Amino acid sequence: MSVRVQTEDFDIGAEIAALRKGNAKIGAIASFIGLVRDINEGDDVSVMTLEHYPGMTEKALDGIVAQAKARWDIYDATVVHRVGRLLPLEQIVLVVVSSAHRGDAFAACEFLMDYLKTQAPFWKKEDTAKGARWVDARESDDAAAARWKKV
Amino acid sequence: MIKILYFARIKEALGVAQESIDRPSGANDVAALTAWLRQRGAAWQAELAPGKALRVAVNQALVGMDATIKDGDEIAYFPPVTGG
């Protein structure tokens, strides 16, 4: 398992290569990348700044990956989340999951993102023409995370 | 002593990122500590108001208002998270 919080960008090709290296039992890799958009709630966004809680962030992500491993038949997972000042078009977050088959890889990847968004201590602030503002949490994210409890 | 951390919107509104204080007498759980902090002034009352969207972690794990607090603990206050 690899969980990292960093200011630097990431390379999905390198991350996938590292995750699957030498393991011929892996039949499926699922991945997700979150990106900075130049618009949110109707306003142009020029800069996105990400703050986090050092220490707790890593613990929370480790815990979420452990839950995914306990629940689905996956080999491993990589989570990389950037912090600091990001511009539109930049990458924010990466989740990669390896498994024997696609079903578990897809499900675990989506679960990891849904739980990351509602449980890992990151906060986004965006600069707009109207000034800087903290992004509000969305009920739709809570609903997305909650549906995994029913399955 | 206890360590208290504040993040994001709450940190900005209160003008403090972290502090170490003697645990107030009677502050045996998150609810009691939060009530004590609210007495510091208008900004504190507003940011830590009951019913306000507020998350609390003790020793880096999310907890409810009934979580116990003891000397040496690290308590953090922050808004609902918005990463990803």
Residue-wise pLDDT for A40-87, tens only, equals: 999 999 999 999 999 999 999 999 999 999 999 999 999 999 999 999
Residue B17 in contact with partner chain A when CB distance is under 8 A: no
pLDDT at residue A150 tops 90: no
The reported pTM is 0.95
Q: Is the ipTM of this complex over 0.85?
A: yes
CB contact under 8 A, A56 and B84: no
Do A34 and A95 touch, CB atoms closer than 8 A?
no
Do A20 and A78 touch, CB atoms closer than 8 A?
no
Do A49 and A86 touch, CB atoms closer than 8 A?
yes
CB contact under 8 A, B7 and A123: yes
Query: What is the model's pLDDT at position A151?
Result: 56
Q: Which of B47, B72, B62, B29 is nearest to A57 (CA)?
A: B62
Q: Which residue has the tokens 């107030």?
A: B24
**CB-count burial class (<10 Å; 0-12, 13-18, 19+) for A24:** exposed
pLDDT at residue B19 tops 80: yes
CA distance A9 to B11: 27
Who wins on pLDDT, A60 or B52?
A: A60
